[in-house]
Chain A
Amino acid sequence: MALSTRAATKEQTKTRPQTKLAAPWNIIVHDDPVTLMSYVSRVFVLVFGYAQDKAHRLMMEVHKTGRSIVWTGAREHAEVYAQKLQAHHLLTTLEVTDV
């Protein structure tokens, strides 16, 4: 009897781990009036391994709208890619997504 009373009054605490995924980062390439369009496409193929048509489409987006999100993902990977794009002198920035 005494045992069951203790069991009934025992406070039960449970911990639930709070996990939150890090927000993905966008790599943005900005237009400049000097860099050749064919060169930009080539760099996208070299750095990301994109197919020629995808590289061309992204390059055209940069050219027409002034910027394009060329890749989205984990920050560490985004930094590596951004460094490679800057190594080819593409005007590149990183920004966290709104998610």
Chain B
Amino acid sequence: MWFMRAAEGYLFGALTPSCIETLRGVPMLIESEDERVRARLLPETYEDHESEAHWRAHAAPELERLFVARTVLVRKDLMAMRQLDFDDSGIVLMIPDSHVNAWLATLNAARLALFVLNEMTAAHFERKGLKICTPKQAEAVARIHFLAGMQEVLLGTVDHGEEEDPQTDAAASE
């Protein structure tokens, strides 16, 4: 996968079939009715039952609506994935600047959902974690790392290489 900063957003290219499958699964993970996913995305907030019930009745539905609204934006960008004229290395995803916040939160939610759905622990992410992973968990670790990589790009914690390659922006704006 490559990425570049374009004039109006971020481009991710050379997405493998596995990457595309993972990305297309992101909205479905957020919408999962699995109680482990719902419990993590809408965690218990209060210890006492009365306050918690009030929270469930008022705050949780608002959060659910927000998650849905973000998923709509993410799905829209995923539907627009396409092959660019100047790139022969696969499908390209464009994330507009105005969608970055929605993507960041949604990617985080998807990673959390993968974590709980595959019954993983912190040990699975340690250096020797793959030794204790089932094949399904190992696949989930790879997907979680891939989505983390996208988050890091959007967070700006990855060098965009703009200083080293002044052609990047020009190419992206074509």
Q: Could you tell me if A87 and B105 are in contact, using CB atoms closer than 8 angstroms?
A: yes
Q: At the interface, yes or no: B10 with Cβ under 8 Å from chain A?
A: no
Q: At the interface, yes or no: B137 with Cβ under 8 Å from chain A?
A: no
Taken together as a complex, chains A and B put the C-alpha atoms of A9 and B157 apart, in Å, by: 81
Chain B residues, CB < 8 A from A32: 112, 115
Q: Could you tell me if A36 and B152 are in contact, using CB atoms closer than 8 angstroms?
A: yes
Q: At the interface, yes or no: B41 with Cβ under 8 Å from chain A?
A: yes
Q: Which residue of A lies closest to B46 (CB)?
A: A94
Chain B residues, CB < 8 A from A39: 104, 108, 151, 155
Contact code string B63-98 (vs A, CB < 8 Å = 1, else 0): 100100000000000000000000000000000000
Contact code string A23-56 (vs B, CB < 8 Å = 1, else 0): 0000000001111101100100000000000000
* B59 touches which of A35, A42, A83, A95 (Cβ 8 Å): A83
Q: Which residue of B lies closest to A46 (CB)?
A: B101
Taken together as a complex, chains A and B put the C-alpha atoms of A70 and B61 apart, in Å, by: 24
Q: Could you tell me if B157 and A82 are in contact, using CB atoms closer than 8 angstroms?
A: no
Q: Which residue of A lies closest to B105 (CB)?
A: A88
Q: Could you tell me if B42 and A35 are in contact, using CB atoms closer than 8 angstroms?
A: no
Q: At the interface, yes or no: B169 with Cβ under 8 Å from chain A?
A: no
Q: Could you tell me if A33 and B122 are in contact, using CB atoms closer than 8 angstroms?
A: yes
Contact code string A78-99 (vs B, CB < 8 Å = 1, else 0): 0100110011110111110000
Chain A residues, CB < 8 A from B50: none
Closest Cβ–Cβ distance, residue B11 to chain A (whole Å): 21
Q: Could you tell me if B43 and A93 are in contact, using CB atoms closer than 8 angstroms?
A: yes
Chain B residues, CB < 8 A from A38: 152, 155, 157
Taken together as a complex, chains A and B put the C-alpha atoms of A39 and B55 apart, in Å, by: 25
Given contacts A34-B115, A39-B104, A39-B108, contact A86 B43 (CB under 8 A): yes
Taken together as a complex, chains A and B put the C-alpha atoms of A32 and B39 apart, in Å, by: 14
Chain A residues, CB < 8 A from B59: 79, 82-83, 86
Q: Could you tell me if A93 and B112 are in contact, using CB atoms closer than 8 angstroms?
A: no
Q: Could you tell me if B42 and A86 are in contact, using CB atoms closer than 8 angstroms?
A: yes
Taken together as a complex, chains A and B put the C-alpha atoms of A92 and B66 apart, in Å, by: 17
Q: Could you tell me if B45 and A33 are in contact, using CB atoms closer than 8 angstroms?
A: no
Q: At the interface, yes or no: B21 with Cβ under 8 Å from chain A?
A: no
Contact code string B151-171 (vs A, CB < 8 Å = 1, else 0): 110010100000000000000
Q: Considering the complex of A and B, which 7 residue pairs feature the smallest CB-CB distances, nearest first?
A: A33-B122, A89-B108, A34-B115, A38-B157, A83-B59, A34-B111, A38-B155
